[in-house]
Chains A and B, each alone.
Chain A
Amino acid sequence: MKAKKVASDYILIILLVVVMVVVFVATLYPFLNSLAISLNQANDTTLGGITVYPRKFTLENYRNIMKNSTIWRAYGITFARTILGTAGGLLVTGSLAFALSRKNYIGRKFYTMICLIPMYFGGGLIPTYFLIRTLGLTNTFLVYIIPFLVNIWNMILMRSYFQTVPDALEESARIDGASYFTVLFRIYWPVSTPIIATISLYFAVQHWNDWYTTFVYIRNPNLRPMTNVLLSIINEAKFAEQMASMGVTDIGNAMMGKQTNVRSITMATMIVSILPIIIIYPFLQRFFIKGIMIGSIKG
């Protein structure tokens, strides 16, 4: 049943292969290159030419960053806010989504409108800053959690999913005298695994990667998460580079070693900071594709 190939077919196939190869290589190469550098001896990295595998394998760079207490604390902050933020976000956003998905929810239309307006219009950076400050959330761990408890996009995705669950499940439970808490957490929650997995991933990634909140609201260095600490290390590395280029030959050489040492450590820190996400997301892939589909169908 295959039709004969015409010239445009061949052009298409060539284009297709080129695009796929370019996307694949351009996406993966920077990651593999960094991984290789992080696993390569620091002095050897100075010679250049490291591609996607370490030339002189070592775990020294990782051992070095493990000695650093700043990294450990930052990792702890990142983990703590990701776990608490994801759990809290799922609970509050999920509950609101469930309520708005019930047709008999009194005030449903009004509340839905309240949720939709901020998607298109907002107060912006400065008023939000003053709100957070007036609430006394600056320089506290809570600023990582409370403003993130409701995410309207995620709420709409969850609401759309809950609407696809047959009403009969709710009705029979209500007739048996179950409260809405029971209906949500004992009946709807267990049958909504795809959307819960998707939204958990969204929340977790948002918390894990957030740099802005710390940048604007946190001055206490002990509350800095991994992203912000990584950025300081990068900027210090650049500082070291400048020093090296200014120095005379002897000092220059000494600094060269130090510079790549900083580069190796930067790469190792970077790998450590993205590892949990990279391990988790492929397993959730089938869920988040489904989650996006639901959102796109319901608009």
Chain B
Amino acid sequence: MKRALAETVNQSSLKKPGLWPRLRDQWDLQLLGLPGIILILIFSYLPMYGLIMSFQEYRMGDFPGMSQWVGLKQFQYLLKDPSLFTAVRNTLVISVLKLTIGFVCPIIFAVFLNEIHRPQVKKTVQTVSYLPHFISWTVCAMLMMDFLSVDNGAFNEFLVKAHIVDAPIPFFQNSKYFWGMALFTDIWKELGWNSIIYISAMAGVDAEMYEAADIDGATRVQKIWYITVKAIKPTIILLFIMSVGGILNTNFDQIMMLTKNMGNAMLKETADVIDTYIYRYGLGQFRVSFATAAGLVKAVINFALLLGANKIADVAGENALF
């Protein structure tokens, strides 16, 4: 018995030579992977190491990460800053809007597209709906501001002419509209693009399911709900988990463009988010360690939320991320 075991071990070690010979045999394969791995270590992992700056007091001229240690002082300052509260609130409101309304819109759009049975129409609408995804936020914000402008903006002209409102609405001048504008412009830009993944999931549905439902006398709405939506449910859950992990992220480009680089003071009350907060303190006022601490808190909370959402999905018996 023992000998047999020893033999198999011997055999397997015969099949699998030592590490060095194997490495020598695939040196070219190793070389292919190496540049990418090195770049990831530099550009993704060194910044993680740089997070230690949040436990230090950075002064001009210090080599990053070599400043004096101050423990949790930066985090204490952070909690005492009243404008942090505003930034967190704005971030959460915008994110939750995007995570609910902004998340559901592409699903509805995809379901509706799936119901169009004329390929030409479907293709045209799809192609047009992808367009804004490929355009920079600079251009998109500019187009939206023009479209929704108070003077001669097409949308306001329409509203006034249709007697829906008496005077044009200052969408981008009044802070009370900003959350809505952040949501609307995001949907406008990414609706079509975000629907692709659902459309491809729907393409996998067996056509016989719909035929069987027809025989059973199901209505079109019933077929959508019980067949189409059910088929894309795993995709929906997976994307939702991933979105939860980004709840404290906002689109920096978008916010900066819609507020003209935070130059529009009237919007700051509702437009200042965690990312702009970190930018302003870190690179504007050069309170580097303080801003790094804010960034660390954000990253940790995001990661915890992702794990939490994943756990819930796992417990609920749904497809989890890991």
Contacts and interface: CB of A to CB of B under 8 A. Distances in A.
Interface of A: 1, 3, 6, 8-9, 12, 15-16, 19-20, 23-24, 26-31, 33-34, 48-49, 51, 92-93, 95-96, 98-100, 102, 104-107, 111, 114-115, 117-118, 120-131, 134-135, 146-147, 149-150, 152, 155, 179-181, 184, 205, 208-212, 215-216, 227-228, 230-231, 234-235, 238, 266, 270, 273-274, 277-278, 281-282, 285, 288-289, 292-293, 296, 299
B30 interface: yes
B37 A111 contact: yes
Contacts of A150: 36, 39-40, 43
A181 B28 contact: yes
Interface residues of B, number: 98
A28 B128 contact: yes
A126 B220 contact: no
A152 B200 contact: no
Nearest to B113: A20
Interface stretch (B77-85, B87-95, B287-295): B287-295
A168 to B, nearest CB: 18
B196 interface: yes
A19 B108 contact: yes
A20 B48 contact: no
A23 B279 CA distance: 34
Nearest to A111: B37
Interface of A is mostly: helix
A152 B41 CA distance: 12
B318 interface: no
B29 A102 contact: yes
B245 interface: yes
B14 to A, nearest CB: 17
A20 B36 contact: no
Nearest to B307: A120
A148 B245 CA distance: 23
A120 B244 CA distance: 11
Contacts of A1: 211, 214
A278 B134 contact: yes
A57 B158 CA distance: 25
B188 A26 contact: yes
Contacts of A19: 108-109, 112
B119 interface: no
A23 B32 contact: no
Nearest to A181: B28
A163 to B, nearest CB: 15
Nearest to A108: B33
Contacts of A135: 42
Nearest to B36: A96
Given A106-B23, A230-B138, A122 B40 contact: no
Contacts of B131: 27-28, 31, 278, 281
Given A27-B128, A205-B134, A270-B139, 10 more contacts: A30-B146, A96-B32, A111-B33, A124-B298, A126-B292, A127-B64, A131-B50, A180-B32, A209-B134, A274-B139
A23 B191 contact: yes
B51 A123 contact: yes
A184 B32 contact: yes
B4 interface: no
Given A92-B36, A126-B288, A266 B142 contact: yes
